[in-house]
Amino acid sequence: MDTAEVLHEVAEQVKRCVRCDLHFSRKNAVPGEGPANAEIMLIGEAPGFYENEQGRPFVGSSGKFLGELLQKGGITREEVFITNIVKCRPPANRDPLPEELATCNDYLETQMNALNPLVIVTLGRFSLARFIPNVRISDVHGKPRWIKEQLIIPMYHPAAALHQPALRSVLERDFSHLMEWVKQARQKRGGPASSTSHPTGAGPAPEKREENPPAQPSLF
Of residues 85 and 185, the one with the C-beta less far from ligand URA: 85
> In sequence order, which residues have a C-beta less than 8 Å from that of residue 15 and are 6 or more positions away?
28, 29, 31, 55
CB of 63 to ligand URA, least distance (A): 6
β-pair type (145-147, 150-155): antiparallel
Shortest separation between residue 87's beta carbon and ligand URA, angstroms: 9
Q: Toward ligand URA, which CB reaches closer, 45 or 180? A: 45
Question: How far is residue 137 from each of residues 11, 51, 156, 159, measured CA to CA in Å?
Answer: 29, 24, 7, 14
174/180 Cα distance (integer angstroms): 11
User: Which residue number is nearest to ligand URA in terms of Cβ?
Assistant: 44
Shortest distance in whole angstroms from residue 48 CB to ligand URA: 4
Cα(23)–Cα(90) distance, rounded to whole angstroms?
9
**Minimum separation from the CB atom of position 89 to ligand URA (A):** 9
Q: Which is nearer to ligand URA, 130 or 209 (CB)?
A: 130
CB of 59 to ligand URA, least distance (A): 7
Q: Rounded to an integer, what distance in angstroms lies between the CA atom of residue 105 and that of residue 16?
A: 16
Compute the 3-state secondary structure of the chain and give helix, strand, coil in percent, each to the nearest 5: 45, 10, 45
Q: Residue 59 or residue 178: which is nearer to ligand URA going by CB?
A: 59
- In angstroms, the CA 175 to CA 90 distance is 27
Task: Indicate the residue among 28 and 200 with the shorter CB distance to ligand URA.
Answer: 28
What does the binding site for ligand URA look like in residue numbers (CB under 6 A)? 44-48, 51, 57-58, 60, 62-63, 84, 159
DSSP 86-134: S-SPPGGGPPPPHHHHHHHHHHHHHHHHHH--SEEEEESHHHHHHHSTT
- In the complex, least distance from residue 56 CB atom to ligand URA, rounded to whole angstroms: 8
Using the minimum distance from each CB to ligand URA, give the nearer residue, 43 or 132: 43
